[in-house]
Amino acid sequence: MHLRNRQPKMIRPSVCQSRTIHGKSPPSSYINNKHGMNSHTLKTPSASDDPSCVCHFRYPIRFRKLEAVVCGPETGQIHELHQDETQLDVAFDAVGSRMLINEHYPNPVNRSMSVDVSLILKAKYVQFVNLEGLSDHSLLLTLRIGRTASAVRGNKMILKEKVRGFFECPPYMRLFEDLYKCRWPEKFIQIRLPEKRCKRWKTVALILKAFNQITSENYCQMAGMMMTPRVGGLDARAIQREIKVRKEKGKGPNKVRRQEPVSAKYRVAVSDADKIERVNQAYAVHLMAFINSSPFTPREYIDRLS
């Protein structure tokens, strides 16, 4: 009924008529291959022989493992907590003031089966000894566990164990056997964190805040720093000793107070008109430089000043 309003069907031109490259017609080999007139095919780029080329498969880079050692008060009392079959991990809670050490054992035959042993150490039951930055920019944390936290019965360490699957022979978990069940009256734990596993000074701030060595304000300042240097050469205990010595020097009757809070070089007398004029001129120069360099100053005001 509506044959008059029906538009004629547009015939799409063929590839050889419509496609051009910068005003030129496509090559004849492309047209022949499109219509099946030629048996030539486009050659795919071959793989490079260079092993550093991006075309080769690259295995994911694994981070270096954590290393932990527990020592006793006597000579020869030392146990390594890290081993090749397991993987250690550590987490710090800045709000709850505690540290969690986890040991993960994956079954080499079936990866869905694993054993996890975790120990939670609270800061009020553990003594913070030192936090050092080694020459390879890794962090070395040293803690001391006293007699009350080292006792096997009624100790202050919280143990959590999670087993996925069935093991005929349970693996030897050093975190449980050599640390939790250790009967030494006093223990020292040293944990080495590689540089690749840390965030430089953010990790330092997190560790110090977790063991109540810095305040929340100092933690926010350290965690918010940008473009921080590497942590090699850090010695938290030496810094604390230096601060303590400075505080002790400022106390007692031997404390020396400045008689003149302002040096004579920068003192200005009210009657000295020349010095007052120089100070005002310097203040005006600094103020103008600040206004011109500020991104919030309107352009009309800058034009008026110039």
- Where residue 21 falls among pLDDT bands split at 50, 70, 90? very low
Q: Give the residue-averaged pLDDT of 75-89.
A: 86
Residue 19, domain member (yes or no): no
Alpha-carbon span 185 to 155, nearest angstrom: 12
Q: What is the mean pLDDT of the chain?
A: 74
pLDDT in tens, 242-290: 888 877 776 666 665 555 555 666 565 555 666 666 666 666 666 666 6
CA distance 2 to 211: 85
pLDDT in tens, 154-209: 567 888 888 888 887 888 888 888 888 888 888 899 999 988 888 888 888 899 98
From CA 230, how far away is CA 239, in angstroms rounded? 17
Residue pair 137/79 in contact (Cβ under 8 Å)? The answer is: no
SS (H, E, C) 18-37: HCCECCECCCHHHHHHHCCC
C-alpha dihedral sign at 35, 39, 40, 45: positive
Last residue of a domain, one of 207, 226, 245: 226
The gap from C-alpha 187 to its chain's centroid, in whole angstroms, comes to 29
Q: Which pLDDT score is estimated for 110?
A: 83
User: What does residue 179 show for φ and ψ, rounded to 5 degrees?
Assistant: -120, -55
Based on the fold, state whether residues 92 and 213 are members of the same structural domain.
Answer: yes
Nearest to 142 by CA among 155, 126, 158: 126
* Sheet containing strand 87-93, strands side by side: 87-93, 98-106, 114-122, 158-164
Identify the residue with better confidence: 77 or 298. Answer: 77
Mean pLDDT of 80-88: 86
Query: Quick one: pLDDT band at residue 99, thresholds 50, 70, 90?
Result: very high
Give the integer Cα–Cα distance in Å for 80 and 69. 5
Please identify which residue in the block is written with the tokens 């986890």: 102
Number of domains making up the chain: 2
CA dihedral sign, ordered 28, 31, 33, 37: negative
- Of all residues in the chain, the percent with pLDDT exceeding 90 is 7
In a domain, 4, yes or no: no
Mean pLDDT across 39-66: 67
Q: What is the pLDDT of residue 234?
A: 84
Q: List, in sequence order, every residue forming a beta bridge with 235; answer none if it has no partner.
A: 132
Question: What local confidence, expressed as pLDDT, does residue 182 receive?
Answer: 82
The whole-number average pLDDT for the span 69-86 is: 86
pTM: 0.61
In this predicted structure, the answer to whether residue 60 has a pLDDT above a threshold of 60 is yes
Domain residues for 282? 273-305
pLDDT in tens, 220-241: 888 887 777 788 888 888 888 8
pLDDT score for 42: 47
With beta carbons less than 8 A apart as the criterion, state whether 79 and 182 touch. Answer: yes
Q: 277 and 222, same structural domain? A: no
Three-state SS at 305: helix
Looking at the structure, tell me whether residues 75 and 138 fall in a common domain.
yes
Predicted confidence at residue 47, as pLDDT, reads 59
Domain co-membership, 176 together with 278? no
Residues 220 and 73 occupy one common structural domain:
yes
CA distances from 89 to 152, 192, 260, 283 (A): 23, 11, 56, 57
Domain boundary among 191, 211, 226: 226
